Amino acid sequence: MSSDATDLGRGLSRRRFLFGGAAVGAGAAVALGVDRALPPSRAAELDAAGLNGARTVAFHGAHQCGIDTPIAAHATYLGLGLRDGVDREDLARMMRVLTDDAERLMAGEGALADTEPELATVPAALTVTFGFGPQLVRRAAGSSAVPAWLGPLPAFGIDALEEQWSGGDLLIVVSSDDAVTVAHAVRMLLKDSRSFASLAWRQDGFRRAYGSEVSGTTMRNLFGQVDGTTNPEPGTAEFDQVVWATGSGDTAWLTGGTSLVLRRIRMNLDTWDEVDPTARSFAVGRRIADGAPLTGSRESDPPDFEATTAAGNTVISPVAHIARSRPVDSREVIFRRGYNYDVAPSGEGVSETGLLFASFQADVDAQFTPIQRRLDQADLLNTWTTPIGSAVFAIPPGCAPGGFVGDTLLA
Ligand code: HEM
C-alpha cells in the first residue's frame, strides 16, 4: 500500500495532499502515486467548495483497495456466475477491462464507452475490489491453484442459507461515500462483464454518511450496538499478519491478497424490540449505550472475562457474543468490515434488516471458521440473528500500473 493510502488509513484526506500546500497539479498527482488525476476543472470546483466528492483512493499497489482503505458509507456487493465456456483467456480479457474501468472510475473519469460520464466525476472515495470463487480459479489455472479454504463454509446449525445470497464465481465490491457514484460504477462494471458472467446476487449495505460523525467512530449496527470495536487497525503489523495471505507453489498467485467471508445475517428487530437495555448489553457483553465492556467504563477498555459478581457469576456471561467470538489466540484474529442492510420486508413484517458481515483474513479455515463454530455452538445473539447468505472469495493482490487485478493468476 502506498504511503499516501496509508495516510488515508489514518483518516487524512487525500484532497489535502492533492490540492493543499505545495502538492498541486498533475505532476504532484503523479508523484503521490495517483493513477489518473481528476479532470482539473471538476476537481478544483469540488475542492474549492471543500467537498468530499473530490476524494480519490489509489487503485494500484501491493494490495487491492477497499480492504485497508477507509470504509465508505455505501457498498454494493455483486456476486456473478461465469458463463459456460468462459476460459482462461476470456477471464484475463475480462479482468483487463474491469481493471481499466475501476481505475478510471476511481480517478473520477468515465469508463471507456461510458454512457453517462458526467456521473463519474464525483468519486467520493470510490473503491472497486474484485474477488474470485473456486470455479473461476479452477478455470484459470486448474484445481491445484484453488486455496484449500476457498469453497462453501461447513454447514452450521444456525444457518438458514438461501441460494439467492450465496456462492458466486466473481465478486465485485463497489463502495463510495456517494450512492449515485456507486450506482453508476456498478452499472458500468456489470455492462462490461456481461459477456463473461451474469449477475447472481446483489447486496447493498450502508453505514453513517461521511461527515455525519467524527472520523473513526465505531459504527452502530441496526440493533443499535457499537459494532467493530475490537478489530485490527489498518497500517499495523497485526493487521498485515491477520489479513494478507502468502501463497506458495500453485497458490503463490494469492500472495499479497486475502480472503473475504461474506455472510448475510438477518437481525430480528421485532423480537429485539422486546428486550430492555440491560438484557441487550448482557447478550453482547458490552453496554448498548456506549459499547464499553460490562467490566469497564469506556469503549476502549479491555473486557475482563474473569471478573465476577457478588453472586459469583462472571460479569460477562460465558455465552455473551464477545465471550464466544474473541479469538482463542492471535492466529484466530479476523478483520471485520461490515455494513447494515435494510430492504423491503416480505409479508406483514415492518422490516427486513441485518448485517452484511464481511471479514478479511489470510486463511478462512484457520481464522474465521473456528470463531463461527463457537458462535454456532452457543451465542446469546443467536436468539435474534440468522445467517441467510454465505459466500467465500479469494481476493487477489493489487496490481501495478499497466497490470490488471488477477494478473498473478491469469497473465
Ligand atoms: C448479525 C450478526 C452479528 C452482530 C449483530 C454482531 C455484533 C457484534 C458486537 C456488537 C460486537 C462487540 C463490539 C466489537 O468488538 O465489535 C461484536 C464483536 C465481535 N464479533 Fe460479532 N456480530 C455478529 C456476527 C458475528 C460473526 C458471524 C462473527 C464471526 C464468525 C463475529 C465475530 C466477532 C468478533 C471476532 C468480535 C470481537 C470479539 C473480541 O475480541 O472482543 N460476529 N460483534
Per-residue pLDDT of the chain (411 residues; tens, 9 = 90+): 333 333 333 333 333 333 322 223 333 333 334 445 556 667 778 888 889 999 999 999 999 999 999 999 999 999 999 999 999 999 999 999 999 999 999 999 999 999 999 999 999 999 999 999 999 999 999 999 999 999 999 999 999 999 999 999 999 999 999 999 999 999 999 999 999 999 999 999 999 999 999 988 999 999 999 999 999 999 999 999 999 999 999 999 999 999 999 999 999 999 999 999 999 999 999 999 999 999 999 999 999 999 999 999 999 999 999 999 999 999 999 999 999 999 999 888 889 999 999 999 999 999 999 999 999 999 999 999 999 999 999 999 999 999 999 999 999
Minimum-distance ligand 1 atom for the alpha carbon of 303: 41
Separation of 325 CA from ligand 1 center, angstroms?
Answer: 6
User: Does the beta carbon of 145 sit less than 6 angstroms from any atom of ligand 1?
Assistant: no
Nearest residue by C-alpha to atom 7 in ligand 1: 227
Cell 475480462 -> residue: 94
3-state per-residue secondary structure call for 282-338:
HHHCECCCCCCECCCCCCCCCCCCCCECCCCCECCCCCCHHHHHCCCCHHHCCEECC
pLDDT of 129: 98
Query: 0.85 cut: is pTM over it?
Result: yes
User: Does the beta carbon of 232 sit less than 6 angstroms from any atom of ligand 1?
Assistant: no
Phi, psi angles (nearest 5°) of residue 36: -140, 135
pLDDT of 2: 36
Measured N-to-C along each axis, helices 88-106 and 134-141 cross at an angle, to the nearest 10 degrees, of 120
Type of residue at 237: A
Separation of 281 CA from ligand 1 center, angstroms?
Answer: 13
Task: Please answer whether residues 58 and 5 qualify as being in contact, where contact means their C-beta atoms are separated by less than 8 angstroms.
Answer: yes
User: Does the beta carbon of 221 sit less than 6 angstroms from any atom of ligand 1?
Assistant: yes
User: Does the beta carbon of 204 sit less than 6 angstroms from any atom of ligand 1?
Assistant: no
pLDDT of 39: 63
Minimum-distance ligand 1 atom for the alpha carbon of 266: 1
Q: Rounded to an integer, what distance in angstroms lies between the CA atom of residue 334 and that of residue 59?
A: 24
User: Does the beta carbon of 284 sit less than 6 angstroms from any atom of ligand 1?
Assistant: yes
CA 89, 91, 93: angle at the middle one, nearest 5?
70
Candidates 304, 322, 380: which one to mutate for ligand 1, based on the most atoms within 8 Å of Cβ?
322
Cell 457469576 -> residue: 313
pLDDT of 15: 33
